[in-house]
Structure formats: structure tokens, C-alpha cells
Amino acid sequence: MIRTCSHCGAKNRVPARHLADAGRCGTCKNPLAPLNEPLDVDATVFFEITGEASVPVLVDFWAPWCGPCKMAAPLVAKAAGNLSGKAIVLKVNTDEVPAIAARFNVRGIPNFAVFKDGEIKWQQAGLLSQQQLEQVALGQA
């Protein structure tokens, strides 16, 4: 994954297993914070992150035409900020990557799932609150 340094704008390659870790920019040596926002991913990046991440991965299966998905988007973004360093949040557009949705039996959206060590640990369709998203990502629900 490529992360851009907020201080100097340099692009830093960060392995999927370290997206939840704090690091340093390779150019300016300033801190590079753990991922704190949802990542829109394609199939390749999805399987790389869910397979290699050292922390749980919360996935939001969504589509741009879905009203409840639009309602969930700011909640997912806030949860990603609060989960920084503890979990990674991914967004999968089911219109653009239908094979992933089919593989995990996503029949209704929004649909949320938690992956750990490359395996699905929890899944539920329907709108969830920010607090519920954070709890399921950390295995507290």
C-alpha cells in the first residue's frame, strides 16, 4: 500500500501487515500515523490486507446507489479514525467488485464483516451505529 506523508508529501510503501502500525516517513523521517480512514479496495488489495493484517479488518460492503450505505459512510469513517492502530477498515463497492460480494454471500447492503488471519469471523447486513462497528471490529459484540 502507498501512504502519503502529511508533512512532506512523499509516498511511502507500507506492507499490509503494517497498516495499523505507526512508522516514519522514508524521506523526512516524521511520524507516519497508523491508517485512520477507510480504504476503498479492489479484489487484489482486499485479499492482501485481509490475509496479512496483524489486526482485525472491518469491511463495509456498499454501493453508491444504496441510501443506507450513504448513511453508514460517515459512521464508518468515524469508526476508522477511532480504530486507528487497533483495526483496519476497508470499503468494497459491490458494483465494482461483485466477485468478492458473491464469495462472502453478500445478499443485502450495507453489509459488514470482520476478518482476522484471512478468515471471516463475523458478518451482518444492515445499518449499524458507529459504536457497534467499533465493538464488532474489536470482537466485543
Residues involved in catalysis: 66, 69
Cell of 59: 469491511
Instruction: Please tell me the distance from the alpha carbon of residue 111 to that of residue 95, in angstroms, as a whole number.
Output: 13
Backbone torsions φ then ψ of 81, nearest 5 degrees: -65, -45
Please answer whether residues 91 and 121 qualify as being in contact, where contact means their C-beta atoms are separated by less than 8 angstroms.
Answer: no
111 DSSP β-pair partners: 61, 125
Closest listed residue to residue 109, CA positions, set 60, 75, 74, 73? 60
C-alpha 22: how far from its chain's center?
17
- Rounded-to-integer distance, Cα 137 and Cα 116, Å: 10
